[in-house]
A = this chain, B = another copy of it.
């Protein structure tokens, strides 16, 4: 085994922690506020490095990045979105379908860059350390790469929108992705006029944010009451303004 060096800067200052929380709480799924300004290569390079340093099962790094700037390709993806969007609208009941049709759900054409992050399930061979019991672990790794990219983009002032209303097959066809490679996320990326304070679906009254304390169990599913853990729930309720520190 090679020498394992330790990190020297193990601790984070309060300001560094605050910067991370600012990134996490100010990250938004951007659909309608894109500007056409180009993204400098040094910015894009940093964002991609952040993504590439996501955790991956068995260190397999199953991701690729297809950077889409071609208008022809974007139009193909947009056409696939329109088709999937129309099919989706018909799945909701009448009232929800009406609201659904008013929502702006993608910025494929307006954003200067789209990036498709994929998962190559065959990378590093058929047996992957850590994927032996749960075979979706490699897909999850590529999702971690998406979230790292999203946070890095926010800290660089870039908006990111994840377009999930697309059939995998149509996306594979538009980007010439082989059948065995799974497209995990199709992202629209660019500078923005503004970021909203809250998620757009929350502001639109589509769904409310669930109180965090309602999502916490102790030791067993649905065990939400425990004298040992009451202080944590009290702390969570006390902290309920924490995510809105930047309001």
Contact = CB atoms under 8 A, between A and B. Distances in A.
Contacts of A216: 48, 64-65, 67
Most buried by B among A137, A168, A210: A210
Nearest to A206: B59
Contact of A20 (B19, B130, B217, B234): B19
A64 to B, nearest CB: 5
Interface string A200-242: 1111111101101001111111110000110110111011001
A196 to B, nearest CB: 5
B164 A1 contact: no
A44 B234 CA distance: 12
A156 B20 CA distance: 10
B69 A221 contact: no
A150 B48 contact: no
Interface in A32-52: 41-42, 44-46, 48-50, 52
A127 B4 CA distance: 48
A164 B137 CA distance: 7
A130 to B, nearest CB: 4
A150 B19 contact: no
Given A20-B19, A133-B84, A165-B130, A199 B139 contact: no
Contact of A219 (B9, B67, B103, B168): B67
Contact of A55 (B129, B150, B219, B235): B150
Contacts of A16: 19, 22-23, 155
A9 to B, nearest CB: 6
A134 B166 contact: yes
Contacts of A55: 27, 29, 147, 150, 162
A184 interface: yes
A164 B133 contact: yes
Interface pairs A-B: 7 shortest CB-CB? A19-B19, A16-B19, A88-B132, A143-B143, A59-B201, A147-B147, A5-B197
Interface of A: 1-12, 15-17, 19-27, 29, 41-42, 44-46, 48-50, 52-55, 57-61, 63-70, 73, 84, 87-88, 91-92, 96, 100, 103, 105, 124, 127, 129-134, 136-137, 139-140, 143-144, 146-148, 150-152, 154-157, 162, 164-168, 175-178, 181, 184-185, 194-207, 209-210, 212, 215-223, 228-229, 231-232, 234-236, 238-239, 242-243, 246-247
